[in-house]
Amino acid sequence: MDHILTLNVGSSSIKFALFARDADGPAERLRGQVEGLGAQPRLEARAGRREIAARDLSAADARDHGTALSVILALLDDAAPDARIGAVGHRVVHGGPDHAAPLVLDAAAIAALDRLVPLAPLHQPHNLAGVRAARAAFPEAVQIACFDTAFHRSHPWVADTYALPQRFYDAGVRRYGFHGLSYEYVAGKLAAIAPGEAAGRVVIAHLGNGASMCALKGGRSVGSTMGFTALDGLPMGTRCGQLDPGVVLYLMAEKAMTVAEIETLLYRESGLKGLSGLSHDMRTLESAQDPEAHRAIAYFTHRVRRELGAMAAILGGLDTLVFTGGIGENAARVRTRICEGMDWLGLVLDETRNAAAPGLVSTDDSRVRVRVIPTDEEAMIARHAAEMLARPG
């Protein structure tokens, strides 16, 4: 039977999932990840609720993305020997201004996406390394890119542009938005759960190691906190979020920092990690007693609250707020801090429901509905891949 393999390749991990093609849509058979590449690699996988792998790997077994993919292929051979891979769906972070839909990848398309690496240096090189490794492993399979930027191509011009001369916009210097696969999945789940809410004014907060927020009207993205790169907007695990560009000029002119040093600072040493001096992980910060850890959380929630107000302004009001992502789905106390004092917006959290999330977590009399909906980027990639395979030719 034809199957779809999804690959979500990050700087130090590969998330994967295997789906059987079914008349009702892709049916998940197993999923997992290899994490800790370059440090302490580990393989974890499950089929439904059944754990099928949980073991540390040697540095030789997973020294890079290519060898880690070999580990994944060996697992697939053992766990699903009947699976013939007809397509591999890849999460590709940046599609630039031209890609508003998934794309079948050939050598020319991959070369074009290579030119977008400067716009997403933390992600794009690894995404494309995964594509190349999958092409070598599955030469007969269709390779399909699913872009994190595609969902936001419906933005109006005012939400996409910067106040720079028009020639820069024409050259591609514009706001792209990211986390689009997550937003697309969550928007679809909301439409299934509460179609009336999905048709209204919705803000989705994808909060995790990467964090952003999206304003949707009628299910379409009309605003995002992320911009030209995945640095903008909210503070993240190791990324700074919104920053006065004058700071970069100062670091170059007064501190004599190179472009590479500034890139490392903004992408890898800032955010929750930089503020706390302790960790990028919200779980670690919540359990810590250090005042710097608490200040980092306070800054994070302050910025989410500020951007929530901005997203509501874009929409002309708010009907539904949805939390998703690792922090959004699991950190009840963070959700509480974000929603505190937001009754002016019509938003009142029910703490009992909030502690039992996912699901509806607002009170019955809250004018704005607040929900926690787990995201599933792998399922979204598989759906796109299945649709591409079903097209004639």
Contacts of 244 (CB under 8 A, 6+ apart): none
- The answer to whether residues 223 and 312 touch, using CB atoms and an 8 Å cutoff, is no
Cα gap 363→354, rounded to integer Å: 10
Q: Is 148 a catalytic residue?
A: yes
The residue from 148, 160, 319, 376 that is catalytic is 148
Cα gap 380→26, rounded to integer Å: 10
DSSP string, 245-293: HHHHHHHHHTS---HHHHHHHHHHS-HHHHHHSS-S-HHHHHH---HHH
Cα gap 307→67, rounded to integer Å: 41
Residue 291: asked if its preceding bond is cis (omega within 30°), the reply is no
Q: How far is CA 216 from CA 143, 235, 373, in A?
A: 30, 21, 15
Q: Give the pair of three-digit tokens for residue 165.
A: 């001369």
Residue labelled with tokens 């700071």:
247
Contacts of 60 (CB under 8 A, 6+ apart): 67
Cα gap 98→115, rounded to integer Å: 13
DSSP string, 54-114: EEE--TTTTSSHHHHHHHHHHHHHHH-TT-EEEEEEEEES--TTT-SS-EE--HHHHHHHH
**Three-point CA angle 164, 181, 193, nearest 5°:** 120
- Residues annotated as catalytic (active site), given as ranges: 148
